[in-house]
Amino acid sequence: MSAITDRPAAAWLPILIAGCLVLAVNLGARMTMGLFVQPMTLDVGLSREAFSLAIGIQNLLWGAAQPFAGAIAERYGTARTIAVSLLFYALGLVLMGFSDTPLLFGLSAGVLLGIAVSGSAFPVVFGAVARALPPEKRSWALGIATAGASFGQFVFSPFAQFMIDDFGWFMALMALAVVCVLIVPLSLQLRGKADEGHGTEQSLRAALREALAHRGFLYLTVGFFVCGFHVAFVATHIQPFVVWCGLPAMVGASALATVGLFNIVGTYTAGVLGGRYRKKYLLSLIYLGRAVVIAIFFLGPKTELTVLAFAAAFGLLWLSTVPLTTGLIIQIFGPRYVATLFGIVFFSHQVGAFFGAWLGGLNYDLQGNYDGVWLLSIALGLLAALIHWPIGDRPLPRLAGAAA
């Protein structure tokens, strides 16, 4: 029996808690960006398309930087990577408050925040959590960590809206920056490198060749594009969408909080089910469920009740893909390079997020509504449901040999 399997809860529980809190701040602060669309576009004079483009760039660069952030964490340590990234996260939020042109806003909210977010996001934290826990607890732990991120969304969305309403959008951004700085000491719990607790020796180059030659890895990469598209579109545009429907702005903030609340249940459940059933089938059902929920909301009446009902249903499916996708990567390729491999898959997620955020604003500026992007979201959900079903999810032969 390995040393990891023998580890008591006291050894890995602080790591899991720290990972949850880091992800709560990372996701919680980022998911408030949509709340700043209206006040900043009115006060600063940005167009909605310019704001959406900056958020799209943020998502794209976050994804592009993610494999490198994962590799840096695996070589130099997770704690250092997260600490530096959180400090740059805070700096990006501060500079965002002083950006009064599309160029400056794109550089702060887009480029700087996009790179900063990558160092404290799912792949880096998941790498530390996966190394710390025994294999039989990993799917559950990844679900817990993702649920922790959702708790951040549940808390930060109403908090940011309260700050915007009572103190203005500038002070709201400063408050988010302070929280990022305060969470830096927690990164010390996540110290460690990828060469701790893995079962086989393998170079990063060999791991990349192995993954890129695996059809299932490519399917996961394509499918995660859809997840990013859905999440970024809803996160960035649900509040302006409900305002366009004639509802109060707080309904949009409440919808984001509701998504975060129900996502706690959804991600935890996905983590538990991922330890009992085949993850690829669960992923197909999640994407199919997204398509159905979006279609019902798009075709139905828009009231405060239906918006919150949509947020609750979509929240159950919101990030439940994350522990299952990460779990599949670990199951097939092992935990050694999970931060880097999931970082590559996550880049596809963020390419989808770029288009989800940007096309929402572009569609509104051109057509005066969001109809085209809602319909595209339904079609992409159906595509993702199909593409996950045939994934080959058996562990590679080298992992079986290492276990033996």
- Structural domain boundaries of the chain? 8-194+205-397
Confidence band of 9 (pLDDT split at 50, 70, 90): low
Compute the distance between CA of residue 378 and CA of residue 57 in angstroms, rounded to an integer: 23
Compute the distance between CA of residue 245 and CA of residue 305 in angstroms, rounded to an integer: 13
For the stretch 190-199, pLDDT in tens is 876 555 444 4
Compute the distance between CA of residue 250 and CA of residue 256 in angstroms, rounded to an integer: 10
For the stretch 314-341, pLDDT in tens is 999 988 998 899 889 888 888 777 778 8
Q: Mean pLDDT check: name the lowest of 128-142, 219-233, 364-378.
A: 128-142
pLDDT value, residue 347: 86
| 3-state DSSP percent of the chain in helix, strand and coil, to 5 | 85, 0, 15
Q: Strand, helix or coil at 168?
A: coil
Residue 200's φ and ψ, nearest 5 degrees, are: -135, 150
Task: Kindly state the DSSP code that residue 107 receives in the 8-state scheme.
Answer: I
pLDDT value, residue 275: 81
Compute the distance between CA of residue 280 and CA of residue 376 in angstroms, rounded to an integer: 23
The maximal CA–CA distance of the chain, rounded, in angstroms, is 64
Q: Strand, helix or coil at 141?
A: helix
Mean pLDDT across the stretch 87-114?
92
Confidence band of 201 (pLDDT split at 50, 70, 90): low
For the stretch 220-259, pLDDT in tens is 999 999 999 999 899 888 988 998 999 988 888 889 889 8
Please count the other Cβ atoms lying within 10 Å of the Cβ belonging to residue 367: 11
Helix axes 135-167, 9-30, angle to 10 degrees: 40
CA atoms within 13 A on the CB side of 280: 18
Mean pLDDT across the stretch 84-109?
93
Of 11-15, 239-243, 296-300, highest mean pLDDT: 296-300
Report whether 363 contacts 369 (CB < 8 A).
yes
Nearest C-alpha neighbor of 116 from the set 99, 92, 94: 92
| For residue 119, pLDDT beyond 80 | yes
Nearest C-alpha neighbor of 275 from the set 96, 134, 95, 89: 134
| For residue 34, pLDDT beyond 90 | no
Compute the distance between CA of residue 13 and CA of residue 193 in angstroms, rounded to an integer: 18
Compute the distance between CA of residue 244 and CA of residue 137 in angstroms, rounded to an integer: 45
- Exposure class string for 303-326: b at 16+ Cβ within 10 A, else e: eeebbbbbbbbbbbbbbbbbbbbb
Tokens of 124: 């880096």
Report whether 79 contacts 190 (CB < 8 A).
yes
- Contacting residues for 299 by C-beta, under 8 A, at least 6 apart: none
For the stretch 50-71, pLDDT in tens is 888 888 888 788 888 887 887 7
pLDDT value, residue 364: 87
Alpha helices in 245-278 (DSSP H): 249-274
Report the chain's terminal Cα–Cα distance, integer Å. Answer: 11
- Exposure class string for 335-345: b at 16+ Cβ within 10 A, else e: bbbbbbbbbbb
Report whether 363 contacts 373 (CB < 8 A).
yes
Distance of CA 13 to the CA centre of its chain: 22
Please provide the CATH number assigned to the domain covering 8-194+205-397. 1.20.1250.20
What one-letter code names the amino acid at 54?
A
What one-letter code names the amino acid at 44?
V
- The model's pTM is 0.76
| For residue 293, pLDDT beyond 60 | yes
Compute the distance between CA of residue 166 and CA of residue 172 in angstroms, rounded to an integer: 9
Q: What is the residue whose two structure tokens read 């949850």?
A: 20
Q: Mean pLDDT check: name the lowest of 91-105, 347-361, 386-400.
A: 386-400
